[in-house]
């Protein structure tokens, strides 16, 4: 597990496709899994058979293959291979490189295999979009791979059919299509970055000249594209360099959460934010946003303003920075002073300043951003441009709107849908489902039997990205091959294979398709030994120097005249077809007399479910949202002031009336939300999904029309009297209430007095300190670097077999995450300063939990880890009561037994806990122990960095560092030597091994008064008294 950080390539291998484990006949396996787990639900030994099944029997792979035909296997069986695959060492993990593309752009990953089964996702350090890190979604993909409810059977009009049947039908269809040169043949895809797929489409065009290719993503980057078009007169992708920027202006920016390349951006950004390392070189971040983003949370000055105000603000900045007509600098704005200060700061940082605009902003704002960047001289230093990575259909009109119109004009008789669930995400005013039903011959390639699958004739189950061959480009164009980690189950096929059928090949072979394309590429780039090239690309997980070429373009001079003379009113999203439009929203409803004043609606993707495609993923559903801390729900987010005005409080049910379209939604009062702006997170309220995702939350798409994809004004909120919603929030109190949890200060304070945050530390004790002569594992968490993305939490859940407990149990405060990220607010509820604090087990040297355990179930080991011995635990729960950090979790029910995931997906290195057992973070003791055994085998000491905890490995910003704190040279020892190092609740003298580096902000002195006053002991001063629960709680 540890070794790929060292001699990496040796540990990554090429999957032997012929020998891949398969899940043929999963029902038996899953059935058995559930039965067996249930059988042991009550004992600590519940996973007994599971692990033997997984680890001790070398034949579990073979068994997978045989499960369908063989009788039930006695768990006491040892089943050796018949022929042992080369290189397989039972009980040793192996790593295979591939890539995941949660938003269409590739992120390189390494998949850990145990006995041929993919178990865990890690980032690929060699991949530019990963750099070894992963996102929460990336971590969770492994669960989707094992989702037992994904479609397996190919269906025709809802009834099970077979691949041959489909192939024959398709071939017939093909004949008639050939006859009419492909007239009526339409292709609907999402974002396409796979060169192989593009080539296939081009090939299709050769056979079917009149093929029409449409593109649709429910949550797309059209605005950015249109903005670039507007600003540069041509499509480009922007590559910001946050490591080079001293001053950053983020316009509701997604650069820390979802923008292509966000993992790299986060890494770069953090590299300039860890105060103890960069000292005076710490960068400064401003954020203007209508609804809180992670960037806003990290901002030194976050200003909440409505979309209109944002646009005005940008014009004003443009005016005063020479990026637009100077009269703009006079534009009236509520936050004028602040803006001027920002402008001054940006001007001062000329050449080292950067403006980044989020995908949800209108094309105009993007254009303004481009102009600002140009004026600030960012293009040379902080910003570079490349040809767009995502393929653009050559059709002039290729939006879903055009498709729907074409269908209604009867111009489409054969529709191949590769896009992800368009029926669910399409604009509500299109009624795309009806259109789809009118298509005589429609095919949908989708992972589950979702809303779209029910509206088409043929539903071909789509193979998971870890089940099929493909390739994908990253945000910077770098190419990676996606190799299957496991054999697809049932009739699953990839997009490549489906298109291959359309072009006449009835038994497509994904590997052949991709390989063929790559051979062509290789030939073009003059590679002699293709096999070596291919092998190397697979092993490394990236194809050498495939990054897109930089291009030099500058914003057109007449940009400002292109923009509407006056700041356009709100709700100016162009139709999906992509050309910019500043036309005011048509959907805006006129408020009826006496009705409450209208508000602006913002449609935003949910940070974890995205556009809804991950709704079936239990880990992501149960992940607390960074700001609302909600699980299993979305909510209409309103600002505290607006809530007061509308007499709303959290969990009230409201009816949102938008030009006649009505939607009932529960309200959540969210600090930092712009006034009179209501954010409706997308991706919930799936009508047809797996048991996990179905009917969770409300479906905001029902209000989203073609012209108001991102925002619209004129909505009326009507409170539904005395009806409240029950939320499952995992954090009920939002303030530190003056407790010594988070220590923070300003850069000024820090430079003036580096030790300002180290105080009140007493080591006095009646007892002699326990000696740890050998290794002493320790962890340091840098609060400057933590962006609250929850990648670590998901990684922990994946590594440590944490179960999903479901909404009702979360409501009872029984969630099982070992690592949580506390979110605290300071300052005014309107524009609070946000603090993210990851809290794993502190591994106290004077552990309060251990002393109260009557059975030695939690005790210390010689490396100072606070062991939790599940099989010894009788479940008194005193340890949890006595833990001042409340990091212990208890199996109140047999959660693991009732978890639907197949048991072969659990991590065999970690005990699966049964009912009535306490559990908690152990610094991934399975990893430390494996590393120590490896080192001990050849009588050496464990190297620094040889073992990484799951959270540390996933963290994009290197906020978490783990290692031997006795070794002065180790990274963790160096971190702990920082003057900012402090122990949470240190006064209790628990001597935690996990310590924090105090949070340093870098506010603009000119703005010190604004927004967020703070002192080293921030909290007391600016906070409401105890129980300030205005973030609400069901």
Under rule CB under 8 A, which residues in 88-117 are in contact with other proteins? 89-92
Task: Rank residues 69 and 332 by Cβ distance to other proteins and give the closer one.
Answer: 69
Binding segment (CB under 8 A) for other proteins, from list 151-159, 584-592, 966-974, 984-992: 984-992
Q: Which residues contact 739 (CB under 8 A, 6 or more apart)?
A: 985, 1019
Cα separation, 444 vs 432, in Å, equals 14
- Closest CB 287 distance from other proteins, rounded Å: 23
Assigned token pair, 666:
């529960």
- Closest CB 873 distance from other proteins, rounded Å: 7
- Choosing from 9, 16, 72, 77, the residue that interacts with other proteins (CB under 8 A) is 77
Nearest CA among 129, 151, 415 for reference residue 258? 129
Q: H-type helices in 923-982, by residue range?
A: 925-937, 950-954, 971-976
847 binds other proteins (CB under 8 A): yes
Phi and psi torsions of 371, nearest 5° = -60, -45
Task: Rank residues 397 and 731 by Cβ distance to other proteins and give the closer one.
Answer: 731
Assigned token pair, 46:
């519940």
Assigned token pair, 134:
């992963």
1024 binds other proteins (CB under 8 A): no
50 binds other proteins (CB under 8 A): yes
Contact 128, 956 (CB under 8 A): no
- Choosing from 278, 344, 859, 971, the residue that interacts with other proteins (CB under 8 A) is 859
Contact 745, 1000 (CB under 8 A): yes
203 binds other proteins (CB under 8 A): no
759 binds other proteins (CB under 8 A): no
Task: Rank residues 171 and 737 by Cβ distance to other proteins and give the closer one.
Answer: 737
Per DSSP, the three-state class of 822 is strand
332 binds other proteins (CB under 8 A): no
874 binds other proteins (CB under 8 A): yes
988 binds other proteins (CB under 8 A): yes
Contact 94, 13 (CB under 8 A): yes
839 binds other proteins (CB under 8 A): yes
Task: Rank residues 68 and 985 by Cβ distance to other proteins and give the closer one.
Answer: 985
- Choosing from 588, 623, 689, 844, the residue that interacts with other proteins (CB under 8 A) is 844
Contact 243, 234 (CB under 8 A): no
**Per-residue DSSP letters for 371-383?**
HHHHHTTHHHHTE
- Choosing from 7, 18, 82, 86, the residue that interacts with other proteins (CB under 8 A) is 82
Task: Rank residues 553 and 1034 by Cβ distance to other proteins and give the closer one.
Answer: 1034
890 binds other proteins (CB under 8 A): yes
18 binds other proteins (CB under 8 A): no
853 binds other proteins (CB under 8 A): yes
- Choosing from 192, 499, 563, 894, the residue that interacts with other proteins (CB under 8 A) is 894
Binding segment (CB under 8 A) for other proteins, from list 80-88, 149-157, 363-371, 490-498: 80-88
Task: Rank residues 174 and 487 by Cβ distance to other proteins and give the closer one.
Answer: 487
Cα separation, 424 vs 704, in Å, equals 11
Cα separation, 494 vs 168, in Å, equals 18
Task: Rank residues 71 and 594 by Cβ distance to other proteins and give the closer one.
Answer: 71
Ordered strands of the 117-123 beta sheet:
94-100, 107-114, 117-123
- Using CB under 8 A as the binding rule, the residues of this chain from 636 to 655 that contact other proteins are none
Task: Put residue 361 in one of left, alpha, beta given phi > 0 → left and psi -120 to 50 → alpha.
Answer: beta
E strands along 827-924, which residues? 833-839, 858-860, 866-868, 889-890, 918-919
Binding segment (CB under 8 A) for other proteins, from list 62-70, 229-237, 371-379, 658-666: 62-70
Binding segment (CB under 8 A) for other proteins, from list 453-461, 600-608, 673-681, 768-776: 768-776
- Closest CB 545 distance from other proteins, rounded Å: 37
- Using CB under 8 A as the binding rule, the residues of this chain from 769 to 788 that contact other proteins are 769-770, 774
Contact 792, 951 (CB under 8 A): yes
44 binds other proteins (CB under 8 A): yes
- Choosing from 2, 11, 22, 47, the residue that interacts with other proteins (CB under 8 A) is 47
Torsional sign, CA 76, 81, 87, 88:
negative
56 binds other proteins (CB under 8 A): yes
872 binds other proteins (CB under 8 A): yes
Assigned token pair, 549:
């070429």
Site string for other proteins, 702-741 (x = CB under 8 A): -----------------------------xxxxxxxxx-x
Cα separation, 795 vs 138, in Å, equals 9
Cα separation, 1011 vs 296, in Å, equals 12
- Using CB under 8 A as the binding rule, the residues of this chain from 793 to 822 that contact other proteins are 812-814, 820, 822
Assigned token pair, 368:
């303004």
Cα separation, 145 vs 377, in Å, equals 45
Binding segment (CB under 8 A) for other proteins, from list 211-219, 663-671, 884-892, 946-954: 884-892
51 binds other proteins (CB under 8 A): yes
1027 binds other proteins (CB under 8 A): yes
- Choosing from 582, 591, 893, 1013, the residue that interacts with other proteins (CB under 8 A) is 893
- Closest CB 640 distance from other proteins, rounded Å: 19
59 binds other proteins (CB under 8 A): yes
- Closest CB 630 distance from other proteins, rounded Å: 14
Alpha-carbon distances, residue 955 vs 123, 242, 470, 552 (angstroms): 9, 17, 27, 33
- Closest CB 956 distance from other proteins, rounded Å: 23
Owner of token pair 């635990």: 873
What's the CA dihedral at 849, 854, 858, 861 to 10 degrees? 110
Cα separation, 12 vs 253, in Å, equals 35
- Closest CB 63 distance from other proteins, rounded Å: 8
Contact 636, 648 (CB under 8 A): no
876 binds other proteins (CB under 8 A): yes
* HSE-CB for 617 with a 13 A CA cutoff: 26
Binding segment (CB under 8 A) for other proteins, from list 147-155, 353-361, 374-382, 937-945: 937-945
CA 924: distance to chain centroid?
22
Nearest CA among 785, 783, 779 for reference residue 745? 783
- Closest CB 132 distance from other proteins, rounded Å: 24
Task: Rank residues 831 and 863 by Cβ distance to other proteins and give the closer one.
Answer: 863
- Closest CB 917 distance from other proteins, rounded Å: 6
35 binds other proteins (CB under 8 A): no
CA 745: distance to chain centroid?
29
Alpha-carbon distances, residue 591 vs 95, 658, 713, 981 (angstroms): 59, 10, 11, 55
Alpha-carbon distances, residue 115 vs 55, 56, 58, 120, 228 (angstroms): 7, 9, 7, 13, 48
- Using CB under 8 A as the binding rule, the residues of this chain from 446 to 465 that contact other proteins are none
933 binds other proteins (CB under 8 A): yes
Alpha-carbon distances, residue 237 vs 127, 261, 445, 551, 903 (angstroms): 19, 12, 28, 10, 43
926 binds other proteins (CB under 8 A): yes
- Closest CB 984 distance from other proteins, rounded Å: 9
Task: Rank residues 81 and 163 by Cβ distance to other proteins and give the closer one.
Answer: 81
Task: Rank residues 66 and 278 by Cβ distance to other proteins and give the closer one.
Answer: 66
How long a stretch of residues is the chain? 1034
- Closest CB 651 distance from other proteins, rounded Å: 15
- Closest CB 136 distance from other proteins, rounded Å: 19
- Closest CB 881 distance from other proteins, rounded Å: 5
């Amino acid at each position: 597990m540890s070794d790929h950080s060292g001699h990496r390539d040796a540990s990554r291998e090429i999957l032997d496709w012929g020998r891949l484990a398969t899940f043929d006949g999963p029902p038996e396996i899953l059935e058995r899994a559930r039965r067996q787990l249930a059988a042991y639900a009550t004992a600590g030994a519940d996973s007994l058979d599971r692990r033997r099944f997984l680890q001790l029997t070398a034949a579990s792979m073979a068994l997978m293959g045989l499960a369908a035909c063989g009788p039930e296997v006695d768990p006491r069986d040892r089943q050796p291979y018949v022929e042992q695959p080369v290189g397989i060492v039972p009980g040793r993990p192996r790593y295979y490189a591939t890539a995941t593309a949660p938003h269409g752009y590739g992120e390189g990953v390494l998949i850990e295999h145990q006995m041929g089964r993919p178990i865990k996702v890690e980032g690929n350090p060699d991949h530019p979009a990963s750099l070894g890190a992963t996102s929460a979604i990336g971590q969770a993909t492994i669960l989707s791979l094992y989702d037992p409810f994904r479609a397996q059977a190919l269906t025709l009009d809802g009834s099970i059919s077979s691949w041959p049947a489909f192939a024959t039908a398709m071939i017939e269809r093909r004949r008639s299509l050939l006859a009419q040169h492909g007239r009526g043949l339409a292709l609907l895809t999402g974002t396409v970055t796979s060169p192989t797929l593009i080539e296939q489409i081009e090939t299709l065009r050769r056979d079917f000249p009149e093929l029409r290719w449409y593109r649709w993503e429910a949550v797309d980057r059209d605005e950015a594209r249109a903005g670039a078009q507007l600003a540069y007169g041509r499509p480009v992708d922007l590559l910001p360099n946050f490591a080079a920027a001293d001053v950053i202006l983020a316009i509701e920016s997604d650069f820390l959460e979802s923008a292509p390349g966000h993992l790299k951006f986060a890494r770069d950004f953090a590299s300039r934010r860890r105060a103890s390392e960069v000292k005076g070189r710490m960068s400064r971040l401003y954020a203007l946003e209508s609804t809180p983003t992670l960037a806003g949370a990290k901002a030194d000055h976050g200003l909440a303003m409505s979309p209109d105000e944002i646009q005005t603000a940008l014009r004003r900045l443009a005016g005063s920075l020479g990026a637009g007509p100077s009269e703009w600098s006079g534009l009236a704005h509520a936050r004028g002073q602040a803006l001027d200060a920002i402008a001054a700061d940006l001007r001062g940082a000329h050449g080292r300043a950067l403006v980044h605009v989020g995908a949800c902003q209108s094309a105009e704002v993007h254009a303004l951003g481009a102009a600002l960047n140009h004026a600030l001289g960012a293009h040379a230093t902080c910003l570079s441009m490349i040809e767009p990575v995502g393929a653009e259909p050559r059709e002039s009109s290729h939006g879903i709107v055009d498709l729907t119109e074409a269908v209604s004009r009867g111009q489409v008789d054969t529709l191949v849908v590769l896009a992800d669930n368009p029926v669910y995400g399409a604009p509500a005013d299109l009624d795309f489902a009806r259109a789809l039903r009118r298509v005589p011959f429609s095919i949908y390639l989708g992972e589950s039997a979702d809303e779209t699958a029910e509206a088409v004739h043929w539903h071909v189950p789509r193979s998971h990205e870890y089940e099929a061959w493909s390739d994908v480009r990253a945000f910077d164009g770098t190419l990676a091959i996606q190799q299957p980690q496991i054999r697809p189950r049932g009739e699953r096929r990839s997009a490549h294979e489906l298109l291959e059928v359309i072009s006449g090949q009835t038994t497509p072979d994904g590997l052949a398709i991709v390989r063929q394309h790559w051979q062509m590429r290789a030939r073009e780039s003059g590679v002699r030994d293709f096999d070596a090239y291919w092998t190397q690309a697979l092993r490394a997980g990236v194809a050498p120097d495939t990054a897109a070429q930089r291009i030099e373009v500058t914003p057109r001079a007449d940009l400002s005249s292109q923009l509407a003379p006056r700041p356009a009113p709100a709700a100016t999203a162009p139709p999906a077809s992509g050309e910019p439009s500043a036309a005011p929203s048509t959907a805006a409803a006129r408020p009826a007399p006496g009705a409450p004043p209208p508000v602006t609606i913002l449609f935003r993707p949910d940070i974890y479910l995205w556009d809804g495609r991950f709704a079936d993923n239990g880990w992501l559903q149960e992940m607390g949202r960074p700001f609302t801390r909600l699980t299993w729900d979305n909510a209409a987010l309103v600002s505290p002031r607006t809530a007061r005005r509308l007499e709303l409080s959290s969990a009230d049910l409201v009816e949102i009336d938008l030009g006649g379209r009505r939607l009932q939604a529960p309200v959540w009062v969210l600090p930092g939300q712009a006034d009179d702006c209501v954010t409706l997170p997308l991706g919930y309220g799936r009508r047809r999904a797996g048991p996990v995702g179905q009917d969770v939350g409300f479906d905001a798409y029902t209000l989203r029309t073609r012209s108001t994809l991102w925002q619209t004004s004129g909505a009326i909120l009507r409170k539904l009297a005395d009806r409240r919603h029950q939320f499952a929030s995992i954090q009920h109190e939002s303030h530190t209430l003056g407790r010594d949890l988070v220590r923070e200060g300003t850069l000024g304070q820090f430079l003036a007095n580096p030790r300002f945050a180290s105080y009140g530390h007493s080591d006095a004790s009646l007892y002699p300190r326990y000696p740890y002569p050998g290794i002493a594992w320790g962890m340091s968490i840098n609060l400057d670097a933590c962006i609250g993305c929850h990648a670590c939490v998901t990684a922990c859940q994946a590594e440590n077999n944490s179960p999903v407990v479901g909404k009702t149990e979360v409501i009872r405060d029984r969630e099982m995450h070992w690592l949580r990220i506390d979110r605290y607010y300071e300052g005014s509820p309107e524009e609070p300063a946000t603090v993210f604090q990851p809290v794993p087990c502190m591994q106290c040297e004077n552990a309060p939990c251990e002393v109260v355990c009557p059975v030695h179930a939690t005790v210390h080991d010689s490396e100072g880890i606070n062991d939790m011995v599940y099989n010894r635990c009788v479940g008194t729960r005193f340890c949890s009561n006595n833990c001042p950090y409340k990091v212990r979790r208890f199996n109140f029910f047999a959660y693991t037994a009732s978890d639907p995931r197949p048991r072969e997906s659990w991590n065999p290195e970690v005990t699966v806990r049964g009912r009535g057992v306490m559990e908690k973070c152990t610094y991934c003791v399975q990893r430390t122990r494996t590393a120590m055994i490896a080192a001990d085998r050849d009588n050496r000491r464990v190297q620094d960095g040889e073992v990484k905890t799951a959270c540390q490995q996933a963290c994009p910003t290197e906020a978490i560092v783990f290692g031997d704190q006795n070794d002065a040279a180790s990274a963790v020892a160096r971190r702990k030597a920082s003057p900012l190092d402090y122990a949470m609740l240190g006064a209790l003298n628990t001597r935690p091994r996990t310590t924090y580096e105090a949070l340093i902000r870098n506010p603009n002195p000119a703005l010190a008064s604004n927004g967020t006053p703070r002192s080293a002991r921030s909290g007391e001063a600016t906070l409401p008294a105890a129980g300030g629960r205005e973030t609400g709680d069901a």
